Amino acid sequence: MTEAYVALEGGHVIEGRGRAPGTARGELVFTTAYTGYEESLTDPSYEEQVLTFSYPLIGNYGVREERFEDDRVHPRAVLAKELTEDVADWLAEEGVPAVDHLDTRDVVTDIRDEGAMKCGIAVGDDVTEADALEQLEQCKGMSEHTDIGSQVSVDEPVVRGEGNDGETVALVDCGAKGSIVDSLLARDAEVHVLPYDATPEDVASVDPDVLFISNGPGDPANYGAAIDLVQEFVGETPVAGICLGQQIVAEALGGTTEKMDFGHRGVNQPVLDLESGQVVMTTQNHGYTVDEPGDHLEVTQINVNDDTPEGLDGIDHDIITRQYHPEANPGPEDTLDFFDDVLAMADERAQRAVPADD
């Protein structure tokens, strides 16, 4: 059996079965999702993290590229109770260390008790605990990545759905899931995917009906260029955001964000709409949340479990954001109408801008 060791920040070292070789280090997080492992593993929001699956069997319906959210695996390493050969082989091909035969219940409990923590991973025929501990020490010495957007964003603008008859969307790619773009294209939008550090001139050249800030990994404070874009265009152009995008919009408009103990990660997070009283189930993957929305945003939806803001609307501007992933990959599909609301907001603003006939 290939040796595998996971060294946790508190000093505990766990031994498991190695399924894909290599060494890695990163922030240890978990997801409660029992389906959608392909979507989770290709979600750019997991960049620089070590992903633990709480569901015991991962891989029971194979690996299909059409389910991918990006063109590569983003977690630095993967932990599970049991991985199928399909998933283990895929991770090995991607160069992502993988460990199973772990008591993931204990790992998840540690994260819930202690919060997201740093860890080191070593997998191979002749690795030792010392190798995992060395990775952990290197991870402890790393500051939070301040330019993580460069690892997950497009390098140059990309146009999707060119010539579509719907609204023009400037999507700032801070690590966007592919299904966000697909959801906009399905509504006949023309989507201009811009780098995370796009300038106001880049956005102005698109002349968008909507400025859309995507999801992505890390601290929203590290996305200064996107914050500047919101400040530049708010009031002039409707603004929308998902996940990290909600946090960036709040930061741009005088709100504050904070890091959560272990975040929201899974496909069963209940969200209450404060106006309708309806509760919907949502997919989530984030480690930061909006603490105070500021004077220009109102909280319209909250997480049932901890009352954190899940939806923000503009008080005096056309703004709509969601903390969860309404594109419903890997599910559920309770909130797909968010994209209709975003595009309707843009259409309504355009209608208001048309001068009335004398």
Sequence ranges of the binding site for L-glutamine: 45, 216, 218, 244, 247, 285, 287-288
What is the predicted pLDDT for the residue at 351?
85
| Residue of 260, 223, 229, 225 whose CA lies nearest to 244 | 223
What is the predicted pLDDT for the residue at 355?
63
Q: Are 226 and 216 in contact (CB under 8 A)?
A: no
What is the distance between the alpha carbons of residues 83 and 98, in angstroms, rounded to a whole number? 9
| Residue 176 and residue 131 share a domain | no
| Residue 318 and residue 290 share a domain | yes
Of the residues 38, 167, 243, 310, only one is catalytic, namely 243
Residue 82: give its domain's CATH number: 3.50.30.20
330: tokens are 């890997």
The verdict on residue 248 lying in a domain is yes
297: tokens are 């945003």
Over residues 122-161, the pLDDT tens digits come to 999 999 999 999 999 999 876 666 789 999 999 999 999 9
214: tokens are 């995507």
User: Quick one: residue 288, left, alpha or beta (phi over 0 = left, psi -120 to 50 = alpha)?
Assistant: beta
| Residue 268 and residue 345 share a domain | yes
Residues in the chain predicted with pLDDT less than 50, given as ranges, are 358
The verdict on residue 22 lying in a domain is yes
Residue 333: give its domain's CATH number: 3.40.50.880
| Residue 207 and residue 163 share a domain | yes
The verdict on residue 298 lying in a domain is yes
Residue at a domain's end among 140, 170, 196 = 140
What is the distance between the alpha carbons of residues 199 and 209, in angstroms, rounded to a whole number? 17
| Residue 239 and residue 172 share a domain | yes
Residue 91 half-sphere exposure toward CB, CA atoms < 13 A = 34
For residue 207, the tally of other CB atoms under 10 A from its CB is 10
**Strands, E assignment, 210-339:** 210-213, 239-242, 256-273, 279-292, 297-303, 309-314, 319-322
The verdict on residue 358 lying in a domain is no
Concerning whether 325 is annotated as a catalytic residue, the answer is yes
The verdict on residue 71 lying in a domain is yes
| Residue 163 and residue 80 share a domain | no
What pairing do the DSSP bridges indicate for beta strands 190-195 and 158-160?
antiparallel
The verdict on residue 229 lying in a domain is yes
Residue at a domain's end among 116, 140, 164 = 140
| Residue 214 and residue 84 share a domain | no
What is the predicted pLDDT for the residue at 357?
57
| Residue 280 and residue 153 share a domain | yes
Concerning whether 82 is annotated as a catalytic residue, the answer is no
213: tokens are 């800030």
What is the distance between the alpha carbons of residues 305 and 236, in angstroms, rounded to a whole number? 36
| Residue 243 and residue 108 share a domain | no
Concerning whether 327 is annotated as a catalytic residue, the answer is yes
For residue 1, the tally of other CB atoms under 10 A from its CB is 8
Sequence ranges of the binding site: 45, 216, 218, 244, 247, 285, 287-288
Over residues 15-38, the pLDDT tens digits come to 999 999 999 999 999 999 989 999
Domain span at 341: 148-353
What is the predicted pLDDT for the residue at 337?
95
88: tokens are 């283990």
| Residue 312 and residue 169 share a domain | yes
What is the predicted pLDDT for the residue at 161?
97
The verdict on residue 292 lying in a domain is yes
| Residue 211 and residue 347 share a domain | yes
What is the predicted pLDDT for the residue at 354?
67
For residue 358, the tally of other CB atoms under 10 A from its CB is 3
| Residue of 100, 119, 131, 118 whose CA lies nearest to 22 | 131
| Residue 167 and residue 120 share a domain | no
How many structural domains does the chain have?
2
Distance, CA of 65 to chain centre: 19
Residue at a domain's end among 140, 160, 184 = 140
The verdict on residue 199 lying in a domain is yes
